[in-house]
Structure 1
Amino acid sequence: MGFDELRTAVLDTRLCTSCGVCELACPKEVIAFDGLEPVLTAAAGLGDEACGDCHDCLDACPGLDPRTPDAELRLFGRVREADERWIGVYREVVGARARDGRLFEASASGGSITGLLQASIDRLGVDTVLTMGRAAGTAWRAAPSLSESAAELVETTQSTYQLAPYLGALRTVMRQRPESRVAMSGIACHVQGVRKLQTLDTEAGRWAREHVVFVVELACSSGTTPRGTEAMIEDLGGVAPDSVTRLRYREGEYPGNIRIWTDDGTRRDVQFWKAVRHFAGNKTHRCLSCGDWMSGLADVSVSDGDPNIFAASVTGTASVDGVAGKHGRVFVRTERGAEVLRHAVGSGVLETWPIDLVGMNLGLERKRNRRATYERSGQLIPAGPIPGFVEELEARPDEEFIAAPVPTLAAGASGRNGDGTNGDVGNSDRRNGNGRAGNGAAR
């Protein structure tokens, strides 16, 4: 009883990542999503009995065990060492940003991921690219987006700090355009789901193995539920979610603000650091206990080049790796990843430069800290990339990493900007403070 097994092992234990790979893997196509939770559809007939002895959904699911060592052996011929615990196996790391001005400006962190995806279309003959976009009819809600050209990708070229069922969107490609070559971006659980699916001797497994040809990964501190975004719009934006016509998470001058457009023609900005603090109340157990900043299983992984975009949001400045402003750190892992990066640079899509991995990334530090807390909690948590590995650090309250700058606490009221648009008055109040780096680089 496959779905019943999935429910017992993953759903009831709160280990579902909402990645959507179960929907893609299901051979009878009877799994769909109710919000963030997979459910059996009416087409299942007699419920779990429709599954028979099939358990493809559980076999592909990364929620309980991503099986990282198995994937590393297939991809790299070895597993990671202890000092590679959070970064994984990689060939080189470089700083990067888009050369195209429109892409660079639209991006949150320089456009490295979008540039790589664009280059894969040209170099690898990719027909379809999966990225995170917005739901039709609900402009603030995250939803998968399928693009067929480099130009289409620009609209989704930002981080999206919201969970949404994702990989199931590839079911449409597999059924309607089965010969398509697919590239995708995703966070750790998305990449792990695809890699597990590619090992299965099933229709979906074989298709994913042959047709998902390029995978780019965003470093992820944690996601937030749709309710987290909705509450942020209400509480910090001061508008009704159903009035929102467009939402961007890192819009404007680096590091960007949450920018909300409404149906009456107004625009409201919420400082990124305030949104980060607000999001903290809407996380899932699986996200908070996750053992991966990067899965390390993509062809290329990308993190924000700025190690502390929370602080950059407070101060309005950032400089790291000797570079001021937004850019990404690109971790090349596979030969295919190296091939696409070379093409992106050679064709003028991206510029790159050598960097050293020095200094703290606060998004990673928060991730490690939370993982250490959960490892000692006695709760059921997902397997990490190194079996038996336990974080040896003094766990701290997460609040310490995203402490609000005291001088701005009294300036939390919202008002109207001088240009007639609505805005958070804190947007011009950039003083010192501590914080975290975000979910990673822009796509």
Structure 2
Amino acid sequence: MMEEYKWFLRDEVVDAGLCTFCGACAAICPNGRIEFRADGPALKEECPRNGQGACMDVCQRVVTFASKIGPNIFGFKAKPPSLLGQYETMVAARATDPKIQEAGQDGGAVTALLSYCMDQGLVDGIIATGDVGKPSSRVVRSKEELIETAGSKYSAVPVLSALKDAEDITNAAVVGLPCQVYGIRKTQFFPGMMAHGYEVGDNGERIKVPNVAYVIGLFCTENFNYDKLAGFMQEKGVDISTVRKAAIHLDSLIVTTDRGEHGFDLNDLWNAGCVQDGCVICRDAVSKLADVSAGYMGSGNGWTTLIGRTAKGALLIKAAEEAGYIETKPDIDLHRIEEFAGLKMQRFNWELARRLDEGKKVKFYWASDYPGVVGEVKGTFYVKIKTNAGIIDAKQIAKAAELAEKYGDGTLEVTARQCVEIQGVSGANVDKLMTEIYASGLATIGMGYVSACVGMDYCKEGLVETKKLASELTMAFAQKLTPHKMKVGIAGCANDCVRSRRHDIGIRGQVRPEIDTEKCNGCGRCAELCRVDAISIVLGKATIDRDKCVTCGWCIRGCPNEAAVEVERGYAMMIGANDARRPADGILLKSFCTKEEIPKLIDAVSNTFLKYRTKPGRERLGNVMRQVGEGRFIKEVLDQV
């Protein structure tokens, strides 16, 4: 009997029936301590971290963090979770090469896309599943190997574990099921993984992972335990080692051997316990985080539905068609795909209810699919509801209170970031709560929570309007998630009550004064009012020191002779500040911006940030600016507007 070493993932994920066999944990361990057995991953030797290192970080059944990973994949177009996920294009496709059509699944469109990638030098290796009989993960390095591995396999395989064998690969494509797509995306973008260059091994070196150029995700309803499936098929007179091809159509698993086709009812496979435990509590049928998703549903026999989700995924489909690798048609039965995805969610809800009723351990790993949902110490969650920079109408606050009573512990908290939090939400209630939040018009996403003071509409010292601007920015960026921790603060005047200088993007009202020397009699009232000693009386006239002036406008308001006059009014924008572990003020980007310029400038700042960041995750704007050079960064921003 193999010795069992204490391991966090074994206790919390594998033994809890949550593991999907994605293989990410094995791929990311720098010491090769993880192996896959028939019942899931296990430690081969004792781990000094008790398995609470990179393997825990990358496990998508601990937490998906899809709401934070999404912006790294989809950029400003990241949206809240939905049944089919977001996408740019959807077509039915098949390979034009008869050999690929024959070897591939449902017309071979996926194999054709990968063939195009290899021919064009877009990738030099593919992480995929090889062999039909007893599938295993492998690195495909040639088109000949690609044809050999074509077609779907329906046994659970730790596909991502092959990443550790791909050190010679520069740009890889990864082909996997929805769970494996989550695994590779966490490997790419989880805060802390890339931020720290992965975990350091006992030899002092870090694990090397190739650049993932494309992620191709497959439709999936369930996957099977190989040994149980082999035993079931043997009882029906089919040797699994003779299977050359397999496909799921409607309610049957169809396998092809030298003796012809054999069909197995999926209900019988379920009842025989062949389905992986982790599959039963999976929510994603269509690989929502892939660049391209693919499956037979919705396209008819001999065709594959291709969903181009990211911009580069949609471009890949178009380029492969133009190059003659695939042919497409627009005939998609969207209702069938929605029904397909809905049935998997329905099954997930049944399984969740069953496990909760039986008192089994459940990790609500999917709660972080939603922006604004954060785990609490006691195992529940709080949900951040955005306000319009601190303003929320009576109906909205009443709705928030109603939801807090219905799904939380009955309490609301007003935060320093001018949000309202519903506290104490159980994991089982997250989906229902978020459905009601979106339906009621409340929001939990947007641009890093825009904070604003009351501005000139309420405060006598306010120079500019703030609340409406904050609301407009929130709405403008509600479906364009800016990079992680992109906090925005808007102050109406130089008093800076919201501390805009310490936000990633700080916006402050300002007015430029000048002295009308004909009206000025040198009374000195303006100098008395100036809080920064920027005004002095020289030869009987007020003089403004521009280096000291903070453009607050007090001299204009207080001059009894109307000699201090306003010549310009607008917004100053500062960028790159931080008010957390290493506090620092922002750097002036532009003075006297118009209200219309501000969204364009924010877009330009975010685009430049995305261009130069090297550590997807918790990298802040100011850090990137310093790495690039603050002057160069600002120049590139201003050149875009």
Per the normalisation by structure 1, the TM-score is 0.71
Distance of 2:314 and 2:278 partners within structure 1 = 32
The amino acid that maps onto 1:376 is: A
| Structure 1 contact 18–36 (Cα < 8 Å) conserved | no
Within 2, Cα distance between the matches of 1:71 and 1:349? 31
Task: Report what 1:112 is aligned to.
Answer: 109
Contact 2:220 2:286 in 1 (8 A): yes
How big is each residue's C-alpha offset from its partner over 1:153-185, in whole Å with a ceiling of 9 and x where there is no partner?
A: 2222212111012211110112xx1x5321121
Aligned with 1:339 (options 297, 300, 315): 315
Aligned to 1:367: 344
Per-residue deviation at 1:299?
Answer: 0.8
* Deviation digits for residues 408-442 of structure 1 (CA, Å, limit 9, x no counterpart): xxxxxxxxxxxxxxxxxxxxxxxxxxxxxxxxxxx
Secondary structure (helix, strand or coil) at the match of 1:113 reads helix
- Tell which deviates more after alignment, 163-172 or 2-11: 2-11
Superposed counterparts of 1:134-145, under 5 Å: 134=131, 140-145=133-138
Q: In the alignment, which of 158, 161, 184 is matched to residue 194 of structure 1?
A: 184
Contact 1:10-1:64 within 8 A present in 2 as well: yes
1:163 to 151, 156, 159: 156
One-letter amino acid of the structure 1 residue matched with residue 37 of structure 2: D
- Kindly provide the amino acid, as one letter, of the partner of residue 10 in structure 1: V
8 Å CA contact 1:289, 1:382 repeated in 2: no
Q: Distance in 2 between matches of 1:331 and 1:153?
A: 21
- Matched ranges for 1:136-285 at <5 A: 140-174=133-167, 177=168, 179-199=169-189, 200-201=193-194, 202-203=196-197, 211-236=211-236, 238-240=237-239, 244-250=241-247, 257-261=254-258, 267-271=259-263, 274-280=264-270, 281-285=273-277
Tell me: higher relative CO, structure 1 or 2? Use CA pairs within 8 A at least 6 residues apart: 1
Alignment of 1:303-342 (within 5 A): 303-306=295-298, 325-342=301-318
Q: Aligned with 1:389: secondary structure?
A: helix
Match of 2:43 among 32, 35, 40: 40
Instruction: Say whether residues 1:64 and 2:62 are aligned partners.
Output: yes
What residue in structure 1 maps to residue 505 of structure 2? none
* Structure 1 residue 268: Cα displacement: 4.8
Distance 2:246 2:160 in 1: 22
Flag the 1:235–1:247 CA change in 2: closer, same or farther, 3 A: farther
The answer to whether the 8 A contact 2:30-2:207 is kept is: no
Deviation at 1:125, TM superposition (A): 3.0
Q: Is the 8 A contact 1:289 1:381 kept in 2?
A: no
Aligned equivalent of 2:94: 97
SS in 1 for 2:57: helix
Q: Count matched residues.
A: 350
User: How much has 1:354 moved relative to structure 2?
Assistant: 2.1
Q: Return the offset for 1:301.
A: 0.7
Distance 1:391 1:350 in 2: 43
1:7 aligns with 2:10: yes
Q: What's the offset of the Cα at 1:67?
A: 1.6
Deviations 1:297-327 (A, max 9, x none): 1111112144xxxxxxxxxxxxx5xxx5321
CA spacing shift, 1:210–1:147, aligned 2, 3 Å: closer
Q: Is 1:86 the equivalent of 2:83?
A: yes
Q: Which one-letter code corresponds to 1:63 in the other structure?
A: R
Matched-pair contact (CA < 8 Å) for 1:3–1:57: no
**Contact 2:178-2:285 at 8 Å conserved across structures:** yes
Query: In structure 2, the residue corresponding to 1:368 is in which secondary structure?
Result: helix
Shift of 1:208: 7.3
1:25 to 5, 25, 28: 28
Measure, in 1, the Cα distance between the counterparts of 2:220 and 2:165: 27
The yes-or-no answer on 1:389 pairing with 2:446 is: no
2:287 maps to: 295
SS at match of 2:116: helix
d(CA) in 2 for partners of 1:287, 1:219: 13
Find the counterpart in structure 2 of residue 121 from structure 1. Answer: 118
State the SS of the aligned residue for 1:6.
Answer: helix
- For residue 330 of structure 2, what is the aligned residue in structure 1? 354
CA contact (8 A) 1:103 1:154 kept: yes
1:403 corresponds to which residue? Answer: none
State the alpha-carbon separation in 2 of the partners of residues 122 and 191 from structure 1. Answer: 24
Taking the aligned partners of 1:258 and 1:300, their CA distance within structure 2 comes to: 26
Determine the C-alpha separation between the residues in 2 that align with 1:207 and 1:341: 32
| Runs of 4+ off more than 4 Å | 202-210
**C-alpha distance in structure 1 between counterparts of 2:156 and 2:289, whole Å:** 20
Shift in Å, 1:9 = 2.2
Native 8 Å contact 2:7 2:43 kept in 1 = no
Given that residues 118 and 150 in structure 1 are in contact (C-alpha distance below 8 angstroms), is that contact kept between their aligned partners in structure 2?
yes
Structure 1 residue matching 2:133: 3-state secondary structure: strand
RMSD of aligned residue pairs (Cα, Å): 3.0
Q: Which amino acid aligns with 1:22?
A: C
CA distance in 2, matches of 1:131, 1:219: 15
Please report how far the alpha carbon of residue 209 of structure 1 lies from its aligned counterpart in structure 2 after TM superposition. 7.1
Q: In structure 2, what is the Cα distance between the partners aligned to 1:209 and 1:88?
A: 27
Cα distance change, pair 30–230 in 1 and its aligned pair in 2 (3 A): same
State the shift of 1:375 in Å.
Answer: 3.7
Contact 2:284 2:341 (8 Å CA) reproduced: no
Q: Note if contact 1:130-1:144 (Cα within 8 Å) is conserved in structure 2.
A: yes
| Alignment counterpart, residue 127 of structure 2, candidates 130, 138, 163 | 130
Q: How has the CA–CA distance of structure 1 residues 357 and 116 changed in structure 2, closer, same or farther, with 3 Å as cutoff?
A: same
1:400 is matched with none
What SS does structure 2 have at the residue aligned with 1:190?
helix
Identical aligned residues as a percent: 25
- 1:221 is paired with a residue of what secondary structure? coil
- 1:391–1:225 CA distance, 2 compared to 1 (3 A): farther
8 Å Cα contact 1:293-1:364 kept in structure 2: yes
Q: Distance in 2 between matches of 1:216 and 1:208?
A: 21
* CA apart distance, 1:284: 2.6
Alpha-carbon offset, residue 39 of structure 1: 1.5
Q: Could you report, residue by residue, the CA deviation over 1:65-91 in whole angstroms, capped at 9, with x for unpaired residues?
A: 22211111221235434xx52211111
Match of residue 422 from structure 1? none
Deviation, 1:294, is: 2.5
Structure exhibiting the larger radius of gyration computed from Cα positions: 2
Letter aligned with residue 373 of structure 1: W
Q: How has the CA–CA distance of structure 1 residues 52 and 288 changed in structure 2, closer, same or farther, with 3 Å as cutoff?
A: closer
C-alpha contact 1:220 1:363 (8 A) present in aligned 2: no
Shift of the 352–30 alpha-carbon distance from structure 1 to 2, 3 Å rule, reads same
